[in-house]
Chain A
Protein backbone atom coordinates (compact mmCIF):
# COMPACT_ATOMS: atom_id res chain seq x y z
CA UNK A 1 0.00 0.00 0.00
CA UNK A 2 1.27 3.45 -0.87
CA UNK A 3 1.01 5.92 2.01
CA UNK A 4 -0.22 9.46 1.33
CA UNK A 5 3.05 10.80 2.78
CA UNK A 6 4.99 8.72 0.22
CA UNK A 7 2.80 9.97 -2.60
CA UNK A 8 3.34 13.58 -1.54
CA UNK A 9 7.10 13.09 -1.13
CA UNK A 10 7.35 11.62 -4.62
CA UNK A 11 5.28 14.50 -6.05
CA UNK A 12 7.55 17.02 -4.31
CA UNK A 13 10.65 15.21 -5.62
CA UNK A 14 9.35 15.50 -9.19
CA UNK A 15 8.83 19.24 -8.69
CA UNK A 16 12.35 19.62 -7.22
CA UNK A 17 13.78 17.91 -10.33
CA UNK A 18 11.53 19.82 -12.79
CA UNK A 19 13.93 20.66 -15.65
CA UNK A 20 11.97 23.82 -16.53
CA UNK A 21 12.49 25.32 -13.04
CA UNK A 22 15.63 27.10 -11.82
CA UNK A 23 18.29 24.57 -10.71
CA UNK A 24 18.16 23.23 -7.14
CA UNK A 25 21.81 22.88 -6.13
CA UNK A 26 21.40 23.80 -2.49
CA UNK A 27 18.07 23.17 -0.75
CA UNK A 28 17.21 24.19 2.80
CA UNK A 29 14.43 22.53 4.78
CA UNK A 30 12.97 24.22 7.84
CA UNK A 31 11.60 22.87 11.07
CA UNK A 32 8.63 20.51 11.20
CA UNK A 33 8.77 19.66 7.48
CA UNK A 34 9.15 15.87 7.37
CA UNK A 35 7.51 15.31 3.98
CA UNK A 36 9.62 17.96 2.18
CA UNK A 37 12.66 16.52 3.95
CA UNK A 38 11.75 13.05 2.66
CA UNK A 39 11.41 14.47 -0.87
CA UNK A 40 14.86 16.08 -0.67
CA UNK A 41 16.45 12.88 0.60
CA UNK A 42 14.72 10.96 -2.21
CA UNK A 43 16.30 13.30 -4.77
CA UNK A 44 19.70 12.97 -3.12
CA UNK A 45 19.53 9.19 -2.65
CA UNK A 46 18.82 8.66 -6.32
CA UNK A 47 22.12 10.27 -7.05
CA UNK A 48 21.30 13.89 -7.89
CA UNK A 49 24.16 16.21 -6.85
CA UNK A 50 22.24 18.34 -4.39
CA UNK A 51 23.42 19.93 -1.14
CA UNK A 52 20.87 19.70 1.68
CA UNK A 53 20.80 21.94 4.74
CA UNK A 54 18.31 20.47 7.16
CA UNK A 55 17.93 23.02 9.90
CA UNK A 56 16.92 20.79 12.74
CA UNK A 57 19.21 17.85 12.15
CA UNK A 58 21.67 17.39 14.99
CA UNK A 59 24.29 15.50 13.00
CA UNK A 60 25.24 16.41 9.48
CA UNK A 61 24.01 19.98 9.87
CA UNK A 62 26.46 22.05 7.82
CA UNK A 63 25.70 25.38 9.48
CA UNK A 64 28.05 26.72 12.16
CA UNK A 65 26.04 29.85 12.88
CA UNK A 66 22.55 28.37 12.92
CA UNK A 67 19.74 30.22 11.24
CA UNK A 68 21.73 33.46 11.18
CA UNK A 69 24.01 31.77 8.66
CA UNK A 70 21.08 30.27 6.75
CA UNK A 71 19.51 33.67 6.18
CA UNK A 72 22.84 35.22 5.22
CA UNK A 73 23.36 32.37 2.73
CA UNK A 74 19.90 32.97 1.33
CA UNK A 75 20.43 36.72 1.14
CA UNK A 76 23.46 36.08 -1.05
CA UNK A 77 21.46 33.80 -3.33
CA UNK A 78 23.20 30.58 -2.27
CA UNK A 79 19.96 28.74 -1.36
CA UNK A 80 18.01 27.71 -4.47
CA UNK A 81 14.84 26.23 -3.02
CA UNK A 82 12.88 26.37 0.22
CA UNK A 83 9.56 24.96 1.37
CA UNK A 84 6.84 26.96 3.09
CA UNK A 85 3.50 26.04 4.55
CA UNK A 86 0.72 28.16 5.95
CA UNK A 87 -2.12 28.15 8.42
CA UNK A 88 -3.92 29.84 5.55
CA UNK A 89 -2.88 30.03 1.88
CA UNK A 90 -4.89 32.00 -0.67
CA UNK A 91 -5.32 31.95 -4.43
CA UNK A 92 -2.58 34.55 -4.96
CA UNK A 93 -0.14 32.35 -2.98
CA UNK A 94 -0.12 34.71 0.00
CA UNK A 95 0.66 32.75 3.15
CA UNK A 96 -0.46 33.36 6.72
CA UNK A 97 1.52 31.86 9.58
CA UNK A 98 0.42 34.41 12.19
CA UNK A 99 -3.24 33.63 12.83
CA UNK A 100 -6.85 34.27 11.95
CA UNK A 101 -9.05 37.20 12.89
CA UNK A 102 -7.71 40.56 13.97
CA UNK A 103 -3.97 41.24 14.21
CA UNK A 104 -1.99 39.46 15.66
CA UNK A 105 -4.25 36.45 15.18
CA UNK A 106 -6.66 36.89 18.04
CA UNK A 107 -9.17 34.25 16.83
CA UNK A 108 -6.69 31.43 16.31
CA UNK A 109 -3.03 32.22 16.79
CA UNK A 110 -0.58 30.24 14.65
CA UNK A 111 3.10 30.02 15.74
CA UNK A 112 4.34 33.02 13.75
CA UNK A 113 6.00 33.80 10.44
CA UNK A 114 9.42 32.21 11.01
CA UNK A 115 11.67 33.28 8.11
CA UNK A 116 8.91 33.23 5.50
CA UNK A 117 8.75 36.98 4.87
CA UNK A 118 12.37 36.82 3.73
CA UNK A 119 12.79 33.33 2.26
CA UNK A 120 9.79 33.66 -0.09
CA UNK A 121 11.53 36.60 -1.81
CA UNK A 122 15.10 35.46 -1.74
CA UNK A 123 15.12 31.91 -3.11
CA UNK A 124 14.62 31.43 -6.87
CA UNK A 125 11.72 29.16 -6.05
CA UNK A 126 9.53 28.00 -3.19
CA UNK A 127 7.39 24.90 -3.06
CA UNK A 128 4.31 25.45 -0.92
CA UNK A 129 3.20 22.49 1.04
CA UNK A 130 0.20 21.74 3.25
CA UNK A 131 -1.20 18.30 3.92
CA UNK A 132 -4.62 19.45 5.18
CA UNK A 133 -6.61 20.38 2.08
CA UNK A 134 -9.72 22.21 3.27
CA UNK A 135 -11.59 25.46 2.73
CA UNK A 136 -10.36 26.49 6.20
CA UNK A 137 -6.74 26.42 4.99
CA UNK A 138 -7.14 27.33 1.30
CA UNK A 139 -9.06 30.59 1.59
CA UNK A 140 -10.06 33.30 -0.92
CA UNK A 141 -7.93 35.85 0.98
CA UNK A 142 -5.66 35.23 3.97
CA UNK A 143 -6.60 37.17 7.13
CA UNK A 144 -2.97 38.24 7.65
CA UNK A 145 -0.14 38.20 5.11
CA UNK A 146 3.04 36.76 6.60
CA UNK A 147 4.64 36.71 3.16
CA UNK A 148 3.08 37.90 -0.11
CA UNK A 149 2.74 35.55 -3.09
CA UNK A 150 3.78 38.16 -5.64
CA UNK A 151 5.36 41.61 -5.49
CA UNK A 152 4.91 44.76 -7.57
CA UNK A 153 7.52 45.64 -10.21
CA UNK A 154 10.62 47.21 -8.68
CA UNK A 155 10.56 45.13 -5.49
CA UNK A 156 13.64 42.93 -5.34
CA UNK A 157 12.46 39.34 -5.55
CA UNK A 158 14.32 36.30 -6.86
CA UNK A 159 11.34 33.96 -7.13
CA UNK A 160 7.86 32.93 -6.13
CA UNK A 161 5.92 29.77 -5.50
CA UNK A 162 6.52 27.10 -8.11
CA UNK A 163 3.70 24.87 -6.93
CA UNK A 164 1.46 23.95 -4.02
CA UNK A 165 1.35 20.30 -2.96
CA UNK A 166 -1.54 19.20 -0.72
CA UNK A 167 -2.94 15.97 0.62
CA UNK A 168 -5.36 15.92 -2.32
CA UNK A 169 -3.62 17.44 -5.35
CA UNK A 170 -0.83 19.45 -6.96
CA UNK A 171 -1.37 23.06 -8.09
CA UNK A 172 1.06 25.00 -10.31
CA UNK A 173 1.48 28.71 -9.69
CA UNK A 174 1.77 31.36 -12.40
CA UNK A 175 3.31 34.50 -10.87
CA UNK A 176 2.46 36.65 -13.91
CA UNK A 177 -1.24 36.08 -13.27
CA UNK A 178 -0.90 35.42 -9.51
CA UNK A 179 -3.07 32.36 -9.94
CA UNK A 180 -2.96 28.62 -9.39
CA UNK A 181 -3.84 25.94 -11.96
CA UNK A 182 -4.78 22.43 -10.90
CA UNK A 183 -2.04 20.16 -12.24
CA UNK A 184 -3.02 16.72 -10.95
CA UNK A 185 -5.29 15.08 -8.38
CA UNK A 186 -4.14 12.29 -6.08
CA UNK A 187 -5.89 8.90 -6.55
CA UNK A 188 -9.41 8.94 -5.10
CA UNK A 189 -9.86 12.66 -5.81
CA UNK A 190 -11.62 14.32 -8.75
CA UNK A 191 -11.69 17.79 -10.22
CA UNK A 192 -15.02 18.25 -8.45
CA UNK A 193 -13.80 17.06 -5.04
CA UNK A 194 -10.84 19.45 -5.23
CA UNK A 195 -13.11 22.34 -6.18
CA UNK A 196 -15.39 21.54 -3.24
CA UNK A 197 -12.50 21.43 -0.75
CA UNK A 198 -10.76 24.61 -1.95
CA UNK A 199 -11.79 28.08 -0.82
CA UNK A 200 -9.89 30.00 -3.50
CA UNK A 201 -10.56 30.13 -7.22
CA UNK A 202 -8.10 28.55 -9.68
CA UNK A 203 -7.87 27.32 -13.25
CA UNK A 204 -8.02 23.74 -14.41
CA UNK A 205 -7.52 21.92 -17.70
CA UNK A 206 -10.41 20.11 -19.41
CA UNK A 207 -8.90 16.78 -18.40
CA UNK A 208 -7.21 16.70 -15.01
CA UNK A 209 -4.51 14.00 -14.76
CA UNK A 210 -3.99 11.80 -11.73
CA UNK A 211 -0.82 12.35 -9.69
CA UNK A 212 1.46 9.44 -10.68
CA UNK A 213 2.11 6.76 -8.07
CA UNK A 214 5.64 6.66 -6.66
CA UNK A 215 7.65 4.08 -8.61
CA UNK A 216 8.85 0.87 -6.96
CA UNK A 217 12.36 2.32 -6.93
CA UNK A 218 11.12 5.47 -5.19
CA UNK A 219 9.21 3.45 -2.60
CA UNK A 220 12.28 1.30 -1.92
CA UNK A 221 14.40 4.41 -1.37
CA UNK A 222 11.78 6.11 0.84
CA UNK A 223 11.28 3.05 3.02
CA UNK A 224 15.01 2.30 3.31
CA UNK A 225 17.77 4.90 3.08
CA UNK A 226 15.47 7.96 3.23
CA UNK A 227 13.79 6.72 6.41
CA UNK A 228 17.22 5.94 7.89
CA UNK A 229 18.35 9.52 7.30
CA UNK A 230 15.18 11.00 8.77
CA UNK A 231 14.71 8.93 11.90
CA UNK A 232 16.97 11.09 14.05
CA UNK A 233 15.09 14.31 13.29
CA UNK A 234 11.56 12.99 12.83
CA UNK A 235 11.22 9.84 14.97
CA UNK A 236 7.46 10.17 15.38
CA UNK A 237 6.89 10.72 11.67
CA UNK A 238 9.06 7.76 10.67
CA UNK A 239 7.36 5.46 13.16
CA UNK A 240 3.93 6.51 11.93
CA UNK A 241 4.69 6.20 8.21
CA UNK A 242 7.28 3.43 8.05
CA UNK A 243 6.98 1.56 11.35
CA UNK A 244 9.64 1.02 13.94
CA UNK A 245 12.28 -0.20 11.47
CA UNK A 246 14.57 -3.18 11.68
CA UNK A 247 17.73 -2.02 13.43
CA UNK A 248 16.29 1.19 14.79
CA UNK A 249 15.16 -0.10 18.19
CA UNK A 250 17.64 2.12 20.02
Chain B
Protein backbone atom coordinates (compact mmCIF):
# COMPACT_ATOMS: atom_id res chain seq x y z
CA UNK B 1 0.00 0.00 0.00
CA UNK B 2 1.52 3.32 -1.07
CA UNK B 3 0.87 6.22 1.26
CA UNK B 4 -1.43 8.92 -0.06
CA UNK B 5 -1.05 12.63 0.44
CA UNK B 6 -3.14 13.95 3.31
CA UNK B 7 -5.46 15.73 0.87
CA UNK B 8 -5.93 12.55 -1.20
CA UNK B 9 -6.82 10.63 1.95
CA UNK B 10 -9.34 13.30 2.93
CA UNK B 11 -10.88 13.06 -0.56
CA UNK B 12 -11.88 9.45 0.24
CA UNK B 13 -14.40 10.72 2.83
CA UNK B 14 -17.71 11.65 1.17
CA UNK B 15 -19.90 14.33 2.68
CA UNK B 16 -22.43 12.75 5.02
CA UNK B 17 -20.12 9.94 6.14
CA UNK B 18 -20.44 8.34 9.56
CA UNK B 19 -16.96 8.73 11.03
CA UNK B 20 -15.60 7.38 14.33
CA UNK B 21 -12.98 9.50 16.11
CA UNK B 22 -11.08 8.62 19.29
CA UNK B 23 -10.64 11.18 22.09
CA UNK B 24 -7.69 13.47 22.79
CA UNK B 25 -5.62 10.98 24.76
CA UNK B 26 -5.97 8.13 22.28
CA UNK B 27 -4.40 8.83 18.86
CA UNK B 28 -6.79 11.59 17.93
CA UNK B 29 -6.46 12.66 14.26
CA UNK B 30 -6.08 16.41 14.66
CA UNK B 31 -4.05 17.08 11.49
CA UNK B 32 -6.63 15.05 9.56
CA UNK B 33 -9.45 17.08 11.11
CA UNK B 34 -7.75 20.32 10.04
CA UNK B 35 -7.38 18.93 6.51
CA UNK B 36 -11.07 18.00 6.51
CA UNK B 37 -11.94 21.57 7.49
CA UNK B 38 -9.79 22.90 4.62
CA UNK B 39 -11.52 20.48 2.23
CA UNK B 40 -14.91 21.87 3.27
CA UNK B 41 -16.52 18.58 4.31
CA UNK B 42 -20.24 18.80 5.07
CA UNK B 43 -22.90 16.85 6.96
CA UNK B 44 -20.45 14.52 8.65
CA UNK B 45 -21.99 12.33 11.33
CA UNK B 46 -19.44 11.94 14.12
CA UNK B 47 -19.12 9.15 16.63
CA UNK B 48 -16.96 9.92 19.67
CA UNK B 49 -15.30 6.71 20.84
CA UNK B 50 -16.23 6.97 23.57
CA UNK B 51 -16.00 10.76 24.04
CA UNK B 52 -15.10 13.66 21.77
CA UNK B 53 -12.42 16.29 22.02
CA UNK B 54 -10.44 18.75 19.98
CA UNK B 55 -10.84 17.16 16.52
CA UNK B 56 -14.64 16.93 16.81
CA UNK B 57 -14.86 20.44 18.25
CA UNK B 58 -13.06 22.07 15.31
CA UNK B 59 -15.01 20.06 12.71
CA UNK B 60 -18.24 21.18 14.41
CA UNK B 61 -17.11 24.80 14.61
CA UNK B 62 -16.18 24.83 10.92
CA UNK B 63 -19.65 23.64 9.89
CA UNK B 64 -18.52 20.18 8.71
CA UNK B 65 -20.87 18.28 11.02
CA UNK B 66 -24.62 17.67 11.12
CA UNK B 67 -24.79 15.28 14.06
CA UNK B 68 -22.69 13.71 16.77
CA UNK B 69 -23.15 10.61 18.86
CA UNK B 70 -20.92 10.75 21.92
CA UNK B 71 -20.68 10.33 25.67
CA UNK B 72 -19.13 13.76 26.28
CA UNK B 73 -17.51 16.64 24.44
CA UNK B 74 -14.69 18.26 26.37
CA UNK B 75 -11.36 20.01 25.99
CA UNK B 76 -10.07 18.45 29.23
CA UNK B 77 -8.38 20.92 31.56
CA UNK B 78 -9.33 23.73 29.11
CA UNK B 79 -12.98 23.04 29.92
CA UNK B 80 -16.09 22.93 27.76
CA UNK B 81 -15.86 22.74 23.96
CA UNK B 82 -17.18 26.20 23.04
CA UNK B 83 -18.16 25.68 19.38
CA UNK B 84 -19.96 22.42 20.21
CA UNK B 85 -21.99 24.27 22.84
CA UNK B 86 -22.73 27.20 20.52
CA UNK B 87 -23.73 25.06 17.53
CA UNK B 88 -25.94 22.87 19.71
CA UNK B 89 -27.67 25.94 21.18
CA UNK B 90 -28.15 27.38 17.69
CA UNK B 91 -29.74 24.12 16.52
CA UNK B 92 -27.08 23.64 13.83
CA UNK B 93 -26.06 20.18 15.03
CA UNK B 94 -27.94 17.41 16.75
CA UNK B 95 -26.41 15.42 19.58
CA UNK B 96 -27.25 11.84 20.46
CA UNK B 97 -26.09 11.25 24.00
CA UNK B 98 -24.60 7.89 24.95
CA UNK B 99 -22.47 6.62 27.81
CA UNK B 100 -18.90 5.46 27.22
CA UNK B 101 -19.25 1.67 27.59
CA UNK B 102 -22.35 1.72 25.36
CA UNK B 103 -20.31 3.19 22.50
CA UNK B 104 -17.61 0.57 22.98
CA UNK B 105 -20.21 -2.20 23.19
CA UNK B 106 -22.01 -1.13 20.00
CA UNK B 107 -18.65 -1.26 18.20
CA UNK B 108 -17.78 -4.60 19.83
CA UNK B 109 -21.05 -6.00 18.45
CA UNK B 110 -20.14 -4.76 14.96
CA UNK B 111 -16.66 -6.23 15.40
CA UNK B 112 -18.24 -9.63 16.03
CA UNK B 113 -20.75 -9.26 13.23
CA UNK B 114 -23.70 -9.75 15.57
CA UNK B 115 -26.75 -7.46 15.46
CA UNK B 116 -26.70 -6.41 19.12
CA UNK B 117 -24.94 -6.88 22.42
CA UNK B 118 -26.21 -6.55 26.00
CA UNK B 119 -24.79 -4.17 28.58
CA UNK B 120 -25.47 -3.85 32.30
CA UNK B 121 -26.31 -0.57 34.00
CA UNK B 122 -27.98 2.44 32.34
CA UNK B 123 -31.57 1.46 33.30
CA UNK B 124 -33.26 4.55 34.73
CA UNK B 125 -30.93 6.98 32.97
CA UNK B 126 -32.56 9.66 30.80
CA UNK B 127 -30.03 8.68 28.12
CA UNK B 128 -32.04 5.49 27.64
CA UNK B 129 -35.31 7.43 27.58
CA UNK B 130 -33.96 9.32 24.54
CA UNK B 131 -32.61 6.29 22.70
CA UNK B 132 -35.48 4.58 20.83
CA UNK B 133 -32.79 2.44 19.15
CA UNK B 134 -31.81 0.89 22.52
CA UNK B 135 -34.06 -1.86 23.87
CA UNK B 136 -34.53 -3.44 27.27
CA UNK B 137 -35.38 -7.14 27.44
CA UNK B 138 -35.75 -9.66 30.23
CA UNK B 139 -32.56 -11.73 30.48
CA UNK B 140 -33.58 -15.01 28.76
CA UNK B 141 -30.98 -16.97 30.75
CA UNK B 142 -32.38 -15.94 34.15
CA UNK B 143 -35.57 -17.07 35.83
CA UNK B 144 -37.25 -13.76 35.04
CA UNK B 145 -37.12 -10.34 36.58
CA UNK B 146 -33.68 -9.39 35.25
CA UNK B 147 -34.09 -6.50 32.81
CA UNK B 148 -31.02 -5.85 30.66
CA UNK B 149 -30.20 -3.38 27.90
CA UNK B 150 -29.54 -4.44 24.29
CA UNK B 151 -27.46 -2.15 22.11
CA UNK B 152 -27.48 -2.31 18.31
CA UNK B 153 -24.25 -2.92 16.43
CA UNK B 154 -22.68 0.30 15.19
CA UNK B 155 -20.59 0.19 12.04
CA UNK B 156 -19.11 3.56 11.08
CA UNK B 157 -18.15 4.24 7.49
CA UNK B 158 -14.66 5.23 8.56
CA UNK B 159 -12.41 5.00 11.58
CA UNK B 160 -10.18 8.08 11.61
CA UNK B 161 -7.07 8.12 13.77
CA UNK B 162 -3.38 9.02 13.87
CA UNK B 163 -0.90 6.21 14.49
CA UNK B 164 2.82 6.21 15.19
CA UNK B 165 3.84 4.55 11.95
CA UNK B 166 2.72 2.43 9.03
CA UNK B 167 4.72 -0.13 7.12
CA UNK B 168 4.84 -0.68 3.36
CA UNK B 169 1.94 -3.15 3.63
CA UNK B 170 -0.33 -0.62 5.32
CA UNK B 171 -0.19 -2.16 8.79
CA UNK B 172 -0.35 0.60 11.41
CA UNK B 173 1.23 0.72 14.87
CA UNK B 174 -0.96 2.01 17.74
CA UNK B 175 1.09 0.69 20.68
CA UNK B 176 -0.87 0.08 23.86
CA UNK B 177 -4.01 1.67 22.41
CA UNK B 178 -5.74 -1.59 21.51
CA UNK B 179 -9.13 0.12 21.69
CA UNK B 180 -8.26 1.55 18.27
CA UNK B 181 -8.38 -2.03 17.00
CA UNK B 182 -12.03 -2.25 17.98
CA UNK B 183 -12.83 0.99 16.15
CA UNK B 184 -10.96 -0.20 13.04
CA UNK B 185 -12.54 -3.67 13.12
CA UNK B 186 -16.06 -2.26 13.51
CA UNK B 187 -15.74 0.35 10.76
CA UNK B 188 -16.03 -0.30 7.06
CA UNK B 189 -12.51 1.09 6.64
CA UNK B 190 -9.84 2.86 8.63
CA UNK B 191 -8.20 5.98 7.21
CA UNK B 192 -5.00 6.52 9.14
CA UNK B 193 -2.44 9.30 9.34
CA UNK B 194 1.01 8.39 10.67
CA UNK B 195 4.23 10.08 11.73
CA UNK B 196 6.41 7.94 9.47
CA UNK B 197 6.55 4.98 7.10
CA UNK B 198 8.81 2.18 8.30
CA UNK B 199 10.58 -0.37 6.12
CA UNK B 200 10.10 -3.22 8.60
CA UNK B 201 6.96 -5.37 8.47
CA UNK B 202 5.14 -4.54 11.70
CA UNK B 203 3.19 -7.78 11.83
CA UNK B 204 6.28 -9.93 11.30
CA UNK B 205 8.15 -8.30 14.20
CA UNK B 206 7.06 -9.66 17.60
CA UNK B 207 8.05 -6.41 19.30
CA UNK B 208 5.42 -4.54 17.29
CA UNK B 209 2.83 -7.09 16.18
CA UNK B 210 0.69 -6.94 19.36
CA UNK B 211 0.37 -3.16 19.00
CA UNK B 212 -0.35 -3.27 15.27
CA UNK B 213 -3.63 -3.09 13.37
CA UNK B 214 -3.56 -5.22 10.23
CA UNK B 215 -3.75 -3.59 6.81
CA UNK B 216 -6.84 -5.75 6.24
CA UNK B 217 -8.78 -3.01 8.04
CA UNK B 218 -6.91 -0.03 6.60
CA UNK B 219 -8.06 1.57 3.36
CA UNK B 220 -5.46 4.33 3.17
CA UNK B 221 -2.51 5.82 5.01
CA UNK B 222 -1.04 9.32 4.77
CA UNK B 223 1.96 10.83 6.50
CA UNK B 224 1.09 13.80 8.74
CA UNK B 225 3.98 14.65 11.01
CA UNK B 226 2.92 15.63 14.53
CA UNK B 227 -0.54 14.62 13.43
CA UNK B 228 -1.97 14.48 16.97
CA UNK B 229 -0.85 18.04 17.81
CA UNK B 230 -2.04 19.77 19.96
CA UNK B 231 -2.86 16.45 21.62
CA UNK B 232 -0.23 13.95 22.74
CA UNK B 233 0.93 10.89 20.81
CA UNK B 234 1.82 8.02 23.16
CA UNK B 235 5.46 8.44 24.23
CA UNK B 236 6.32 10.36 21.04
CA UNK B 237 5.36 13.87 22.13
CA UNK B 238 3.31 15.48 24.89
CA UNK B 239 0.17 17.57 24.54
CA UNK B 240 0.39 21.32 24.00
CA UNK B 241 -1.97 22.65 26.68
CA UNK B 242 -1.01 26.26 25.89
CA UNK B 243 -2.41 25.89 22.38
CA UNK B 244 -5.59 24.23 23.61
CA UNK B 245 -6.04 27.04 26.13
CA UNK B 246 -5.48 29.62 23.36
CA UNK B 247 -8.08 27.82 21.25
CA UNK B 248 -10.59 27.65 24.11
CA UNK B 249 -10.22 31.38 24.69
CA UNK B 250 -10.53 32.37 21.03
CA UNK B 251 -13.38 29.97 20.25
CA UNK B 252 -15.68 31.55 22.83
CA UNK B 253 -16.89 33.67 19.92
CA UNK B 254 -17.52 32.84 16.28
CA UNK B 255 -15.14 35.64 15.26
CA UNK B 256 -12.46 34.30 17.55
CA UNK B 257 -12.92 30.82 16.11
CA UNK B 258 -12.50 32.26 12.59
CA UNK B 259 -9.30 33.95 13.76
CA UNK B 260 -8.05 30.62 15.07
CA UNK B 261 -8.96 28.90 11.77
CA UNK B 262 -7.12 31.55 9.75
CA UNK B 263 -4.10 31.24 11.95
CA UNK B 264 -3.81 27.48 12.43
CA UNK B 265 -5.88 25.75 9.73
CA UNK B 266 -5.79 27.92 6.63
CA UNK B 267 -2.56 29.77 7.47
CA UNK B 268 0.97 28.57 7.72
CA UNK B 269 1.06 28.97 11.49
CA UNK B 270 -0.38 25.46 11.87
CA UNK B 271 2.65 23.84 10.37
CA UNK B 272 5.02 26.10 12.26
CA UNK B 273 3.31 25.60 15.62
CA UNK B 274 3.36 21.85 15.16
CA UNK B 275 7.12 21.79 14.72
- Residues of A in contact with B (beta carbons under 8 Å apart): 31-32, 56, 58, 61, 63-69, 71, 74-75, 97-98, 103-104, 106, 109-122, 144-148, 151-152, 154-157, 234-236
Contacts and interface: CB of A to CB of B under 8 A. Distances in A.
Contacts of B77: 32, 234, 236
Contacts of B179: 65-69
A157 to B, nearest CB: 8
Nearest to A236: B77
A110 B71 CA distance: 11
Interface in B55-102: 70-74, 76-77, 80-81, 84-85, 88-89, 95, 97-102
Contact of A111 (B73, B232, B238): B73
Interface of B: 25-26, 50-51, 70-74, 76-77, 80-81, 84-85, 88-89, 95, 97-102, 104, 108, 119-128, 130, 145-148, 176-179, 181-182, 232, 235, 238, 241
A31 B76 contact: yes
A97 B73 CA distance: 11
Nearest to A121: B121
B51 to A, nearest CB: 7
Given A58-B232, A75-B120, A109-B84, 15 more contacts: A68-B178, A68-B179, A69-B179, A104-B97, A109-B85, A110-B80, A111-B72, A112-B97, A113-B99, A114-B99, A117-B125, A117-B127, A146-B99, A152-B124, A156-B146
B179 to A, nearest CB: 4
Nearest to A144: B126
A139 to B, nearest CB: 15
Contacts of B100: 67, 71, 114-115, 118
20 contacts: A65-B177, A67-B179, A68-B108, A69-B179, A74-B101, A104-B130, A109-B85, A110-B80, A114-B71, A114-B99, A117-B102, A117-B125, A119-B121, A120-B121, A148-B125, A151-B123, A151-B124, A155-B123, A155-B147, A235-B241
B71 A122 contact: no
B146 A65 contact: no
Given A104-B95, A118-B119, A154-B147, A111 B125 contact: no
Contacts of B125: 113, 117, 145-148
Nearest to B99: A117
Contacts of B80: 109-111
Given A71-B104, A75-B101, A115-B99, A155 B177 contact: no
Contacts of A117: 99, 102, 121-122, 125, 127-128
A113 B147 contact: no
A64 B178 CA distance: 6
